[in-house]
Structure 1
Amino acid sequence: MTQHSNNTVKVWDPLIRVFHWSLASFFIIAYLTEGEVMPLHAYAGYGIVALVAFRLIWGMIGTHHARFRNFVTGPGTTVNYLKDIAQGKAKRFIGHNPAGAAMIVALLLMVTLTAFSGMALLSVDGEGPLANTFFATMKEHDLKEVHELFANLTVLLVALHVAGVIASSWLHKENLVRAMLNGKKTSDHSSQ
């Protein structure tokens, strides 16, 4: 964490910021092109898989605030944080707060399931990396339903994520979107 003279601290490294906005972009592209522009839809899905693989590695070896061990907490801590935020008394965190950490885990899992189910769906037509596997023998309708379910659950999580960013930004009087763009947060609050 690098301290700057204007009461800011560098929190999000460039790789985390590029990952975040790239994942959002690829998911939007995949969601909007479903059933319409299949090559673009599939490539966006493969991009998501590559990004998740990167994030898992960076979550182990990356910068301080990128490492999972420095922000992932147990469910009890997350629930208590959510109660505190509802009461307007949640503690500010320089890195991810417990609810944000839980959302990262949930979103990574859900986009992975969405992408994997999409690859399984492609395998029915003998395409993609899962062709000639068990998935190729499954019913296309069933795989499509599962893929759409995961995609829609991801949209729900994204909506909750955006609501959480807005609530936390308002409560702590800081612009979290700007922080994810420039990597800096103010350091003059009490924080972790």
Structure 2
Amino acid sequence: MLQRTTTSSTDLLIRFLHIVIMLSFTGAYLTGDAEEWHQIHMAFGYTLGISLILRILWQFCAPRLAHTQPSGPSRRLQVIKPFVQRYWAQPQQWLSPTFLKAASSSLFQLSILGIFLLLPLTVLAGFLTDYTYSHTLKEVHELFANLFLASVLLHLAALTLNSVLLKKWLAKRMFWGTESHSWFTLFAAIFSLGVLIAFWFFYLS
């Protein structure tokens, strides 16, 4: 039986969109330089844009309708700000285990902010490049894509370091969980899947 939860920040839809964004960026990056794959490259880019829109909508809908609380920019900054305030002027502690744990957590949150800042810029620059055939916009698009990749690599590095220091694999909560979900969370996940399937069907047909 589906039940409501009041504590989850990584509910079913968050996990689903996380996987979609991860696969879409990988696909878009790998097909970016191949002219014969241009249509697929653009489809991956549009999928990133659609996923971002769904994620933003869910940020506002989840607390009201699904009774979950996805992490937003303010919550992530609440992790980064105390770390900077505490350790910025204390270089003697920069090799301590406590510092490394706090640093890896802060870099992890910073990488997520970077990803969600660069995602719309990358997609928009790609769309404008495809529409205008501007060489300058193409270079801007490639710059944003590479910065996006750098944020992803920072994300993975911080996650790995944090997992090693805490002696548990933190990534598993973004792929599966044991908590129950409200009916609205399940509906939203199915609706989002339907939107993405419909997009790919009409875009490629």
Q: Which has the higher helix share?
A: 2
Q: Structure 1: which 5+ runs fail to align?
A: 4-8, 126-139, 186-192
Do the aligned partners of 2:25 and 2:44 also contact (CA within 8 Å) in 1?
yes
Alpha-carbon distance in 1 for matches of 2:59, 2:87 = 24
CA deviation after TM superposition for structure 1 residue 178, in Å: 1.5
Give CA deviations for 1:141-170 in whole Å, capped at 9, x if unaligned: 101110100001111111110000001111
Work out the CA distance in 2 between the residues paired with 1:120 and 1:13: 34
CA distance in 2, matches of 1:81, 1:33: 43
What is the alpha-carbon distance in structure 2 between the residues aligned to residue 184 and residue 92 of structure 1?
A: 26
Q: Would the alpha carbon gap of residues 181 and 175 (structure 1) be closer, same or farther in structure 2, given more than 3 Å must change?
A: same
CA RMSD of the aligned region, Å?
Answer: 3.2
Partner of 1:76: 81
In 1, Cα distance between equivalents of 2:115 and 2:167: 25
Per the normalisation by structure 2, the TM-score is: 0.68
Name the structure 1 match of 2:132: 124
Question: What TM-score results when the alignment is normalised by the length of structure 1?
Answer: 0.72
1:161 aligns with 2:161: no
The answer as to 2:129 corresponding to 1:88 is: no
- Structure 2 stretches of 5 or more lacking a match? 63-67, 180-205
* Structure showing greater relative contact order (alpha-carbon pairs closer than 8 Å, 6 or more residues apart): 2
Structure 2 residue aligned with 1:188: none
Partner of 1:103: 111
Q: Give 2:22's match in structure 1, choosing from 24, 28, 35.
A: 24
Structure 1 letter corresponding to 2:82: T
What is the identity percentage for the equivalent residue pairs of Structure 1 and Structure 2? 28
More strand per residue: 1
